[in-house]
A and B are shown apart, each in its own frame.
Chain A
Amino acid sequence: MATIFRYSLRRFLGQILGWGIAFGLIALYLMVLYKPMITQQAELKTLFDAYGETMMAFFGGTTDFLSPAGYLDFTFFSYIPIVAGIFAVVLGSGLLVADEEKGTLDLIMAHPISRAALFWGRTLAFCAATLAILALTWLGFAAGIPAAAWDVSAASLLLPHLSLFVVLVLFGAFALLLSMVLPSRAVAASAAGGLMVVNYLVTSLARVNERLEGLNNLLPLKYYQGGRALEALDWQALLVLLGVAALLMVLAWWRFERRDIRVSGEGSWALPFIRRTARRRAQRA
């Protein structure tokens, strides 16, 4: 498993650096921007009031956007699950299936490694890659503390990142599970990505529409704290999300242990209705 983990992490290096450095620079920029914003807080308040409640709901629904927690949430952590979620969904859906579709999994699996070692080696590498990206992001925020002149420690800035990490791992695990049951990586990534966006919309709108609260209670972003975690991390919510992520991973593993490994041209993984259509077309031809 260690070989799989190391090798997978090395493969993710480009993505870690790409996403991590980009987020880190954004984080640093936002911290540097804090002081100039505070000098114009009256104008900003007027501007944000003009946006209206619904618009602000998509940025975490905070009204206290000039406190460190509110500022972090408003400028970054409220929408970043959707942006970083793209990374999680793409990587999660392709963790095993991308190699299967390229045909490289066949050779790897002919070596003396168990399916469990392959699955968990790659899944842990995905978690480590997500952690590394968030570590670079945190570095950007931490480096900007003097510029923002906040009375918060660099260590306390880890808390919103922890909240983000868990929700990204959950999205990745969900995409991974879908890739184990759906016909292709593209379908799994699209489905997981679509549901992630729906989750963001519902959770955001539930802040202004009480009727959505019932549905919102079932969605992971409801339990995501974002920047508000800086004030007090909700460990219970964090553990629930972590538990759900772990459950999704275990289900994906269970499925991977039992399914056939595909190679191009062998077997058909098309959905039944696609298969029927293809058969009809072939008969007509």
Chain B
Amino acid sequence: MAIGWYLAVSAIVFCIGAGGVLTRRNPLVLLLCLELMLNGANLALVAFARMWGGEDGQIFALIVMVVAACEVTIGLGLIVAIYRRQLPVDVDELGELQG
């Protein structure tokens, strides 16, 4: 399969994630859509690593996975804290971050 096909899949996944971030309001689903975007970028990185025959792109993809895991951890912690304070779990209502 040509590398271009993989890039097309990665672009489609990235755009689906971007559309989800814009249209959904539940922060949990928002985090999932961010994961989608990061995974699209990961696929492009790995495809380019295959294209050049070097593993540096795969290293980059692994680092992106680490950053995504950190982001998920902090985001889920925030959602749990929001839920504990009995605030609405909805990004439109949570417009301001006042303590």
- Do A and B actually bind? no
Chain B residues packing against A (C-beta within 8 Å): none
Chain A residues packing against B (C-beta within 8 Å): none
